[in-house]
């Protein structure tokens, strides 16, 4: 399984800025992802089409959207459908990111609706899961992950190809805070995630990438990627600059 090196640009970068960053990334990578690695950039909706064009310069690179609405079309002001995302040249979408859950207020059931609908409509989905510090300190880690995975993967079409789904574990308390889970924390939690994935996905679980996210930087990416059950990383702030993201991709 190739390591999946993912970037979440969040509410940063205009279309022009996205193109400039991807052009620099292409130059630094000499036009191709390193052997054994795939790259996906989750870009803002307004930059998707231009980013998709620029990503053509990187072999093994893909573009994704940061969100999706579970309907083909309709009176959903401000939302975007899978067909709209694909028409922009993107092939991936994020669902369940902690900022959608905790800032925007999306429910577990709604995350599951998005995940299933996006997969049924030909997008590859990276489902994000993770606990708050309060939940971890209260001994609820496994309960939270089990609930998020079961509801997030509820109604996923049985015919979904294994390569269409990835899971990203991000401890909420380590996103954008500068704090990173210890290697022991990551190994322990990813083992729990994989066990739960096997219960839900069966034999597909071991072929489904399980990524770590949460203050991933050039300095710690290599040690994180070397851990058991870590099939890639989801990078926030450190992915906004081509040079730092290149260091992570090559870690």
As a whole number of angstroms, the distance between CA 136 and CA 44 comes to 31
Residue 242 CA, chain-centre distance (Å), reads 18
As a whole number of angstroms, the distance between CA 131 and CA 11 comes to 22
Out of 113, 146, 170, 190, pick the active-site residue.
170
As a whole number of angstroms, the distance between CA 185 and CA 183 comes to 5
| 97 a catalytic residue | yes
As a whole number of angstroms, the distance between CA 26 and CA 59 comes to 9
CB 28 within 8 A of CB 242: yes
As a whole number of angstroms, the distance between CA 80 and CA 153 comes to 21
Out of 38, 66, 97, 99, pick the active-site residue.
97
CB 211 within 8 A of CB 126: yes
As a whole number of angstroms, the distance between CA 177 and CA 241 comes to 18
Q: Which of 180, 162, 163 shows the shortest CA–CA distance to 171?
A: 180
Give the residue numbers marked as catalytic. 97, 170
């Amino acid at each position: 399984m190739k390591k999946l090196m993912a970037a979440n640009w969040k509410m940063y970068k205009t279309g022009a800025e996205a193109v400039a960053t991807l052009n620099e990334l292409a130059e630094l990578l000499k036009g191709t992802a390193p052997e054994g690695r795939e790259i996906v950039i989750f870009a803002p909706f307004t930059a998707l089409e231009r980013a998709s064009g620029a990503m053509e310069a990187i072999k093994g690179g893909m573009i994704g959207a940061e969100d999706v609405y579970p309907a083909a079309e309709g009176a959903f002001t401000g939302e975007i459908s899978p067909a709209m995302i694909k028409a922009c040249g993107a092939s991936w979408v994020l669902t369940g990111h902690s900022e959608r859950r905790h800032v925007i207020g999306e429910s577990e059931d709604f995350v599951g609706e998005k995940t299933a609908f996006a997969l049924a409509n030909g997008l590859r989905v990276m489902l994000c899961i993770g606990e708050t510090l309060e939940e971890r300190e209260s001994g609820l880690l496994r309960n939270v992950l089990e609930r998020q995975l079961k509801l997030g993967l509820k109604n996923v079409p049985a015919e979904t190809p294994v390569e269409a789904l990835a899971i990203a574990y991000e401890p909420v308390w380590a996103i954008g805070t500068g704090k990173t889970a210890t290697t022991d924390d990551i190994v322990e939690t990813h083992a729990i995630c994989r066990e739960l994935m096997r219960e839900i996905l069966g034999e597909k679980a071991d072929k489904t990438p399980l990524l770590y996210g949460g203050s991933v930087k050039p300095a710690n990416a290599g040690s994180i990627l070397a851990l058991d059950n870590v099939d890639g990383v989801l990078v926030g702030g450190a992915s906004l600059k081509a040079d730092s993201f290149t260091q992570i991709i090559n870690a």
